[in-house]
Copies of this chain bind each other. A is one copy, B any other.
Amino acid sequence: MEPMGEFEEIDFLADSGMSSAGSFREMIDAPVEDAQRERIARMGLCAALDGGDPRMAALVREQGPVAVWEYLRNSGSTRATAVRVRGVDVEAVQQATAACGSTFLIPSDPQWPLGVADLAWSEPVNGLGGEPWGLWVSGEGDFARACSRSVAVVGARASTAYGEHVAAELGAELAERGYTVISGGAYGIDAAAHRGALSCGATVAVMAGGLAKLYPPGNAALLTRIRDAGFVVSESPPDCVPSRARFLVRNRLIAALAQATVIVEGAVRSGAQNTVSWALSMSRPVLAVPGPVTSAMSVTPHRLIRNGEATLATCVEEIVSVLEPLDPRRETLPWAKSGAGGPLSDQERTLVDALPHGIGVSVDEVCARLGWNVVTVLGVLSRVEQAGWAQEYRPGVWRQPRQPPSQ
């Protein structure tokens, strides 16, 4: 895929010295602590620029959204990026957000879903990547909690009756087991999975366009029910229309919000393959439902299984079995079984408890969670890693292993 036009414009930011860390905060004179300023900056960036440019995401990550936003707002540049940023009417976006009954979430909000943080570290897919700067969410309840135990069910729009049957069954059975079903709200497999989930529980539809007019219009009634019983979410402002690029960038959110991705059907060239690629780029489990070898709609699931990129899944138990070791809600933690003492000291156990299962955290984050100094954390981390209770799954990023050591 070609990068979107405005991505080229980032070069001028680099030319202006913005890409060298530290240099840019000095160029603006106001303090950046203000949460309201951050919210406005993130909303403005979402409104001005399409997400999914890994270089722009890195720049905002390094310099902070307020710094980037205010620099671009105040620059006299005639480059497209700056012009677009200056053209954003944040107040109008805020009004549209309220008008469609949605909330704009930023990472510091308690409702912010933790899973999207992995997009900051994952490999780009087709040159796209990076975490969203904010998310518009419509729906009742705790969005982060809904996503914390979730499975993406994706597949072809031109699905078969077989695929829709399986997607609806899996959607219903996942919801019945307390998993939120995440999908794209499209025709075919997406709609069947959402419908199945709605019959038993909550579901999340991730939109490529804004939440003011849910897409596709043919699924308007379904999407309204999803919003009422679960959530619709988008990183585009309410009035944004979907585009091909926005669908690809949207797919990374589906994969990032869910703990695992299941592909039910997909032809030889499949949009669902794109969602799978995002899940693989984040080292998230991918499962694929087989089908008749005579069906063109099972070509992509079969290829993924053959290539070892996906695990074959025939039923909800086989999906859940991949996630249970990752499930932070499990009642009996493995080391609790071995009784007091066990293989870990109290200090080691406390550290392992502080590590997440799916999404890793930095050593700094562990220090902050436990109130320990970095030397203590590194020492204990090294011991529990050797015992198999911690895993450095990216450099500097730690989590609990999928398979705890057997005792």
Q: Is there a chain B Cβ closer than 8 Å to A406's Cβ? A: no
Contact of A294 among B165, B298, B302 (CB under 8 A): B165
Which chain B positions have C-beta within 8 A of A165? 294
Which chain B positions have C-beta within 8 A of A312? 290, 302, 305-306, 312
Complex interface bits, A297-336 against B, C-beta within 8 A gives 1, otherwise 0: 0110010011000011111001000000000000000000
Q: Is there a chain B Cβ closer than 8 Å to A293's Cβ? A: yes
Contact of A162 among B289, B290, B294 (CB under 8 A): B294
- Which residues 225-257 of A have a CB within 8 angstroms of B? none
Q: Which 8 A-B pairs have the closest CB atoms?
A: A290-B290, A293-B314, A306-B312, A305-B312, A302-B314, A162-B292, A292-B292, A291-B292
**A295 closest partner in B (C-beta):** B292
Which of A166, A293, A312 has the most CB atoms of chain B within a 10 A radius of its CB?
A: A293
A102 to chain B, nearest CB (A): 37
Which of A162, A302, A314 has the most CB atoms of chain B within a 10 A radius of its CB?
A: A314
Some 8 contacts from A to B, beta carbons below 8 A apart, are A290-B291, A291-B291, A291-B293, A293-B314, A299-B314, A305-B312, A306-B314, A312-B312
Which chain B positions have C-beta within 8 A of A299? 314
Instruction: Judge whether A298 and B293 touch: CB under 8 Å.
Output: no
Contact of A306 among B162, B166, B293, B311 (CB under 8 A): B311
Contact of A290 among B166, B302, B311, B318 (CB under 8 A): B302
A266 to chain B, nearest CB (A): 14
A339 to chain B, nearest CB (A): 33
Which chain B positions have C-beta within 8 A of A318? 306
A6 to chain B, nearest CB (A): 42
Which chain B positions have C-beta within 8 A of A315? 293
**A314 closest partner in B (C-beta):** B293
Instruction: Judge whether B306 and A298 touch: CB under 8 Å.
Output: no
Which of A165, A290, A311 has the most CB atoms of chain B within a 10 A radius of its CB?
A: A290
Q: Complex Cα distance A318/B290, Å? A: 16
Q: Complex Cα distance A384/B291, Å? A: 44
Which chain B positions have C-beta within 8 A of A291? 290-293
A322 to chain B, nearest CB (A): 11
Which chain B positions have C-beta within 8 A of A306? 311-312, 314, 318
Which chain B positions have C-beta within 8 A of A314? 293, 298-299, 302, 306
A225 to chain B, nearest CB (A): 26
**A306 closest partner in B (C-beta):** B312
Which chain B positions have C-beta within 8 A of A293? 166, 289-291, 313-315
A306 to chain B, nearest CB (A): 5
Which chain B positions have C-beta within 8 A of A302? 290, 312, 314
A273 to chain B, nearest CB (A): 16
Q: Complex Cα distance A331/B305, Å? A: 31
Which of A166, A291, A311, A315 has the most CB atoms of chain B within a 10 A radius of its CB?
A: A291
Q: Complex Cα distance A54/B91, Å? A: 83
Which of A162, A165, A292, A311 has the most CB atoms of chain B within a 10 A radius of its CB?
A: A292
Complex interface bits, A32-62 against B, C-beta within 8 A gives 1, otherwise 0: 0000000000000000000000000000000
A314 to chain B, nearest CB (A): 4
Known contacts A291-B293, A298-B314, A306-B311; 6 further A-B pairs (Cβ under 8 A): A162-B294, A290-B291, A291-B291, A292-B292, A293-B313, A305-B312
